[in-house]
Amino acid sequence: MFATRVLRQAVAHGAERTPLIRFIGKRYIPENVDHTPQPHPASPSGALPGSFGSGNSHPSFSSYRDHAQQHGPLRKTIGTSSNGIGTQPAASLGPVEPPNGVYFDRNQLPERFRRVPLSAAEIEAIETGGATLFG
């Protein structure tokens, strides 16, 4: 807030602002820029990977999408094979039982590991933002 006032006073009194950063030399735009891929200077091999720059392996976005994976395969042809996803019913895969010592739900844990229920006073303190604790 005061910095703005000081700058306005300096402008009013004719002082010219001088930036603290100083650049060496004049700005210039290079005529030729090499955009070819280069290995990183700290690369242990000093060379690009063999498969780098070999071109796009998918001729179209649709072809890419058929082979892409995001949270599982997106390929449309997965279910057509005999052992693909969705070819067997879930019941044929057997029962879903956790291994010994693994629990699916917190209520299956021993009593000492379960959540303690909130009391009415704690619920009231949460709902009022703690105001009832001091009143």
Tens digit of pLDDT for each residue in 76-114? 555 555 666 667 777 887 888 888 888 888 888 888 988
The larger pLDDT score, comparing residue 82 to residue 129, is at 129
Q: What does the DSSP assignment read for 64-94?
A: HHHH-BSSSB--TTGGGSTTSTTSS-GGGG-
| 9-60 pLDDT, tens digit each | 777 776 677 788 888 888 888 888 888 888 889 988 888 877 666 666 667 7
Task: Mark out the alpha helices in the chain (DSSP H runs).
Answer: 2-12, 61-67, 120-127
pLDDT at 133: 78
pLDDT at 96: 83
Number of Cβ within 10 Å of residue 124's Cβ equals 14
The larger pLDDT score, comparing residue 62 to residue 38, is at 38
Measuring CA to CA, which residue among 41, 73, 105 is closest to residue 65?
A: 73
The larger pLDDT score, comparing residue 65 to residue 98, is at 98
Number of Cβ within 10 Å of residue 129's Cβ equals 8
Number of Cβ within 10 Å of residue 48's Cβ equals 14
The larger pLDDT score, comparing residue 8 to residue 34, is at 34
Q: Which two tokens stand for residue 117?
A: 């229920």
Largest CA distance in the chain: 88
